[in-house]
């Protein structure tokens, strides 16, 4: 226990509570006054505007409604629902992910004529919307953590559910939007991405999931599946934002213990699963879970999703 205590002291010196809140996207709806943060509790998704308090200087937090409080270790344990030893591992991963120098947002660009300009400003999003909660069964706390929701502050994302995007290292790139109007979705496609967005150079959620590559990685098509899998207790899912795989993405996936493919249960998803399995096969163990026709991972009840994931990760 002495070694664990030392580890926690060392890690807490490296990773402040503000960094943890930012890492999980929990600071977005908190207000700051001096060294204090306050706002709705991001842990249980409450709406009381002063229920959650954070003392940045002392590294302490407290939810006056339901979640209790404590230090950075207690916060990690509450978020990840894990033991002290597992919390130490999560803190190590967060510490390792911190940039050693001030971050620069300069994702590789394929050619001068197709330059992509990142949008780094964060938008105020409402994670409690009908589409997320009632169609995709994504809880407000999960949506807030992944920076997803509706917004009135962007004409680009009008009548859409926005999702914030990052590069492989966690640098913000902007937002994509899921169209809510069926006629627009039919005409233009379900998703709207920024002009010249380099989809082939990222995997959605890679900057969070890289800490868990040693456990294996779940590869899906879209952000909703990533959120539902995380909600089921598995933080190691990444999304292609489509059905094609680039060499950059292969390089990242090759660092995982194994890959579990859970692509959509439609003809495009089945064809992509076969192609991706062949592309990854020479360098990494690939498992596949074939969803029933016209089914997406986020369509599954949480108990079924958790059972499928447990069966693959316990026996692989």
Which position has the token pair 């916060």?
75
pLDDT at 125 > cutoff 90: yes
The sheet carrying 60-63 orders its strands as: 31-33, 36-39, 52-55, 60-63, 68-70
Smallest Cα–Cα separation from 211: which of 235, 247, 240? Answer: 235
> Which pLDDT score is estimated for 220?
97
86 and 67 in a single domain? The answer is yes
CATH number of the domain residue 302 falls in: 3.40.1360.10
28 and 125 in a single domain? The answer is no
Query: What is the rounded CA–CA span in Å between residue 10 and residue 271?
Result: 48
Answer whether residue 138 is part of any domain. Answer: yes
Query: What is the rounded CA–CA span in Å between residue 64 and residue 44?
Result: 11
217 and 301 in a single domain? The answer is yes
Supply the pTM of this predicted model. Answer: 0.67
> Which pLDDT score is estimated for 128?
94
Answer whether residue 141 is part of any domain. Answer: yes
Answer whether residue 123 is part of any domain. Answer: yes
Query: What is the rounded CA–CA span in Å between residue 61 and residue 63?
Result: 7
Which position has the token pair 């800490």?
211
> Which pLDDT score is estimated for 30?
82
pLDDT digits (tens, 9 = 90+) for 184-201: 998 999 999 999 999 999
Answer whether residue 104 is part of any domain. Answer: no
Query: What is the rounded CA–CA span in Å between residue 231 and residue 214?
Result: 20
Decide which of 197, 222, 246 is a domain's last residue. Answer: 197
β-pair partners for 216:
none
> Which pLDDT score is estimated for 79?
87
pLDDT digits (tens, 9 = 90+) for 219-242: 999 999 999 999 999 999 999 998
Query: What is the rounded CA–CA span in Å between residue 50 and residue 313?
Result: 39
Give the residue ranges of DSSP H helices in the chain: 2-14, 17-23, 72-80, 84-97, 130, 140-145, 182-188, 206-209, 223-231, 247-253, 267-280, 302-314
- The mean predicted confidence, pLDDT, of the chain is 86
Answer whether residue 108 is part of any domain. Answer: no
221 and 159 in a single domain? The answer is no
Structural domains of the chain, count: 3
187 and 216 in a single domain? The answer is no
- Structural domain for 287, as ranges: 206-314
């Amino acid at each position: 226990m002495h070694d664990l205590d030392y580890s926690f002291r060392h890690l807490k010196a490296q990773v402040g509570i503000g960094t943890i809140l930012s890492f999980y996207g929990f600071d977005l709806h908190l207000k700051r006054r001096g060294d204090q943060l306050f706002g709705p509790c991001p842990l249980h998704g409450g709406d009381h505007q002063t229920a959650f308090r954070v003392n940045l200087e002392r590294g302490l937090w407290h939810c006056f409604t339901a979640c209790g409080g404590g230090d950075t270790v207690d916060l990690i344990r509450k978020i990840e629902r894990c033991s002290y030893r597992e919390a130490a591992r999560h803190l190590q991963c967060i510490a390792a992910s911190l940039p050693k120098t001030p971050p620069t947002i300069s994702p590789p660009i394929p050619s001068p004529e197709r330059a992509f300009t990142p949008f780094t400003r964060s938008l105020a999003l409402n994670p409690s919307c009908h589409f997320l909660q009632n169609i995709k069964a994504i809880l407000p706390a999960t949506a807030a953590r992944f920076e997803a929701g509706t917004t009135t502050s962007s004409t680009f994302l009008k009548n859409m559910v926005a999702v914030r995007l990052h590069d492989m290292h966690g640098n913000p790139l902007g937002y994509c939007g899921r169209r809510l109007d069926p006629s627009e979705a039919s005409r233009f496609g379900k998703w709207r991405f920024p002009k010249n967005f380099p989809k082939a150079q990222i995997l959605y959620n890679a900057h969070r999931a890289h800490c868990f590559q040693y456990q294996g990685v779940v590869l899906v098509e879209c952000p909703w599946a990533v959120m539902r899998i995380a909600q089921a207790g598995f933080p190691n899912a990444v999304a292609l934002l489509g059905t094609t795989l680039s060499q950059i993405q292969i390089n990242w996936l090759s660092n995982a213990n194994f890959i579990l493919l859970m692509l959509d249960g439609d003809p495009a998803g089945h064809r992509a699963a076969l192609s991706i399995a062949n592309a990854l096969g020479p360098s990494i163990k690939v498992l596949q879970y074939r969803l029933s026709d016209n089914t997406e991972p986020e369509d599954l009840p949480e108990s079924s999703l958790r059972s499928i994931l447990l069966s693959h990760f316990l026996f692989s």
